[in-house]
Amino acid sequence: MPDLTARVGLVGFGTVGTGVVRVLREHRSDIDERLGFPLVLKRIADIDLETDRGVPLDGIELGTSWEEVVEDPEIDLVVELVGGTGTAKDLVLAALGAGKRVVTANKALLAHHGDEVYAAAARDGTDIAFEAAVAGTIPVLRALREGLCADRIESLMGIVNGTCNYILCEMEEGSEPYPNCLKRAQDLGFAEADPTFDVSGMDSTHKLAILAGLGLGANVHPDDISTEGIEGVANLDIEFAREFGLRVKLLAIAKRREDGVEVRVHPTMIPGASVLAQVGGPMNAVQVRGEMSGPTLYYGAGAGSIPTASAVVADVMELARAKHLGVAGRVPPLGTPTLRDVPIVRSEDLEGEYYLRFSVLDRPGVLAAIAGALGERGISIASVVQPERHESRAVPVVIMTHRAREAALRKALEEIDQQGAVQDETRVIRIEREI
C-alpha cells in the first residue's frame, strides 16, 4: 500500500498556531473522512518551546529551527504563522523552493511581497493559500477567487479590522470617548497593548492590498492606499451620523474605475439600514459588488485563535487534496495569473459626498462665510445642522455636501481656515451611500 498520508509542518506556535493544533486534533476524524486520506501534523517549530500552550503534543516533533521543517522530505505542507516580512518571507520562499505547499495567514508578507511569493509558487510548481490573512474565518478570498470568478468585480468594501469596529461600536453605544473604548478593547483582548497598527488603519490597508488583487486583478501596494485611522473620530460625529440615518465604520474600499482603481481606508458614514452597518463588535464583513452578481456580502469573525485556525486548516485541506491528486496551480493564488498595473486614482481626484464638522464661534455671518467658500468651489450643500448656541465658545456646525471633488473640497476648507472663522481642525468624513 502506498502511503497516502499528507504531513504538515507548522512554523510559529503562537495563538493561531495553538488553534491549528487544536483544530487538527479535535476534528481529526472528520477531516480525514472528508479528505479520504490521513492528515498528520508532523513537526512544529517555534523559538519558544517552553510556554505551555495547553494542547497535547504527543507524536509531534518539536524544534526551534524552521529549516528542519522545510528540509524534512516527509513534510508536504508547511504552515507559516510567524508573521512579519523577515523570517516569514525566507521560510515561505524556502518551503516553496523545496516543492512544499504553503499555507500562511501573513497579510503583511502578502501585501508587501505577494508578487514575489506567488511567482515563486508558480515557478516551483506548487501552491500557496492564505484565506486567514484577510477577515479571519470568513472564506471571502475563496468567494472572490472561485465563487465570483465568472464575474467582473466593480467594488469591494470591507470592515476588516475587528479592533476598530469594536471601538466604533462601543463609542456609539455608550457615548464614551475614544480612549475609554480603546482601553476596554485592550482589556477584552480585542486590541493590542500598542494598538497603533490597528487603529491607524494600517492593518486594513494590508488586507485591502490583497483584496484589490483578488477582486479587481489590480497590482496594489500598501503605499498606494490612502489610509486614515479611527483616532480622530469623535462621539459627536457618530451622533450626527445617526441623526442622518448613517453609521460610522472603518472601511477598506477598492473600486474599479475607467481611469484606474480607487483604494482607500478611512472612517466612512454608511446607511444605518444597510447590512454592512449591522456588523457589530469585533466582527468583520466584506461587501462585494459584481457587474453580474450584484452585491454579495461575507460576514464572520475576523480574528481569534480558533476561528482563524479553522480557516488555516481549510487551506491545508485544500492543498492536501491537490497534493493527493498530484496537481498544482489549479487556481492562481489571486484567481488570475497576472495582476494588471493600473493607475491608482489620487485622493484629490476622488468624488463623493462629505460630512464636514466645523468648530466655529457662533457669530452672525460665520455660516454664510463657510457656505460661500464651499459654493465658490462648486460644492453644494445637502444639509446643515447647527445644534447649539453659545456665543462665547466654539460650537459645531455640520454640513453634509452633495457629490463633490475632493480637490475642490480641500481648497475650500483651506480658504475657510484662512478666514479665521473656525476654531479647530475641521473634521471630514466620507459618505458612501451605494453599498
Strands 226-227 and 246-257: unpaired
- Contacts of a copy of itself in 288-307 (CB under 8 A): 290, 292-301, 304, 306-307
For a copy of itself, the closer CB: 70 or 141:
141
**Strands, DSSP E only, in 258-380?**
260-271, 283-290, 294-301, 351-361
CA–CA dist 42, 97 (Å, integer): 20
The β-bridge partners of 234 are none
Residues 256-275 that bind a copy of itself (CB under 8 A): 273-275
**Contact pattern for a copy of itself over residues 150 through 169, marking x by CB under 8 A:** xxx-----------------
Cell readout for 429 is 468624513
Ramachandran angles phi, psi of 331, nearest 5°: -125, 135
Residue 58: Cβ within 10 Å count:
5
Q: Please say if 411 is a catalytic residue.
A: no
CA nearest to 295, candidates 272, 275, 269:
275
Given the complex with a copy of itself, which of 281 and 372 has the nearer CB atom?
Answer: 281
**Which residue in the list 207, 249, 255, 323 is annotated as catalytic?**
207
DSSP-assigned letters across all residues of 197-212: HHHTSHHHHHHHHHHH
Distance CA 329, CA 319 (A): 10
Which of 14, 38, 63, 147 binds a copy of itself (CB under 8 A)? It is 147
With b for 16 or more beta-carbon neighbours within 10 A and e for fewer, the 142-169 pattern comes to: bbbbebbeebebbbbbbbbbbbbbbbbb
Residue with cell 501585501: 111
Give me the 308-337 binding string for a copy of itself, x by CB under 8 A, dash otherwise: -xxxxxx-xxx--xx--x-x--xxx--xxx
CB of 33 to a copy of itself, least distance (A): 7
Q: Which stretch binds a copy of itself (CB under 8 A): 28-36, 157-165, 381-389, 390-398?
A: 28-36
Q: Assess 58 for contact with a copy of itself (CB under 8 A).
A: no
Closest CA to 426 of 383, 404, 394: 394
Interface stretch with a copy of itself, choices 65-73, 134-142, 156-164, 401-409 (CB under 8 A): 134-142
Contact between 131 and a copy of itself by CB under 8 A: the answer reads yes
Binding residues vs a copy of itself (CB under 8 A): 23, 27, 30-31, 33-34, 36, 131, 137-139, 142-143, 146-152, 273-275, 278-280, 285, 290, 292-301, 304, 306-307, 309-314, 316-318, 321-322, 325, 327, 330-332, 335-337
Active-site residue set: 207
